[in-house]
Structure 1
């Protein structure tokens, strides 16, 4: 039988949902580049989203004994292969996780408009990720 830490997965998903809900008004109002605090908030929200995708993906991979990933993008690819997420969501998630290196190591070169554009472009897909994971867990457990 599979040993999937559904409690930990749910904690991550709920936190991701809270973070995305918190920044939705910034994105809707188009004032993403107004000040440093707003910019940092959006960067952190994007970082939390991509780390949540990786953490949840790793919990699923470990719990369901899926193939080992080689990168953050590979985690998304495995979730797509295992039908955890749809093609549309996987495409968005790949774009999001590819921002990890700039956010973590090249933060001096991160452009606020790139962060807000990425969040705006993929917001709808990001907020569907938790429900797709939950549906997958219902189906598989």
Structure 2
């Protein structure tokens, strides 16, 4: 029997609709303003944290192999069938932004709309649905 921390997964997944709506609004209203740039950074960073936190809970709960990096979290959960390979590719692109956003923030171009902002507005709800379907099937 598995112990999957469903409560913590649900708490994180519950933030996705609001985050996706914010990302959609940022993309639609983009004018390069510094506040929009900072909001975009935070939204992308939060998306990364949600995806990697949920992935880590799934890996731990279902006793999948240990992850060695953020990209590995996506590779493992994708290989286990949590989400499609197409979605895995996008999530891998997303988690690759963590270092630039968190460690190299001083060189991040705040005046440019990052393409993943708009893409993740559509893909995050699909991630949420996929995780919920996986949990329903496996538990």
User: In structure 1, how many angstroms separate the alpha carbons of the residues matched to 2:31 and 2:76?
Assistant: 32
Q: Across the two proteins, how many residue pairs are aligned to each other? A: 139
Tell me how large the CA RMSD over aligned residues is: 1.5
1:58 pairs with one of 56, 75, 97: 56
Unpaired runs of 5+ residues, structure 2, are none
Which has the bigger relative contact order, CA under 8 A and spacing at least 6?
2
- Residues 93, 114 of structure 1: CA spacing in aligned structure 2 closer, same or farther, 3 A cutoff? farther
Deviating 4+ runs (over 4 angstroms): none
User: In structure 2, how many angstroms separate the alpha carbons of the residues matched to 1:114 and 1:84?
Assistant: 32
Q: TM-score, normalised on structure 1? A: 0.92
User: In structure 1, how many angstroms separate the alpha carbons of the residues matched to 2:111 and 2:94?
Assistant: 14
- Residues 65, 139 of structure 1: CA spacing in aligned structure 2 closer, same or farther, 3 A cutoff? same
Q: TM-score, normalised on structure 2? A: 0.93
Unpaired runs of 5+ residues, structure 1, are none
User: In structure 1, how many angstroms separate the alpha carbons of the residues matched to 2:113 and 2:65?
Assistant: 31
Query: What is residue 8 of structure 1 aligned with on the other side?
Result: 8
2:100 pairs with one of 89, 99, 102: 102
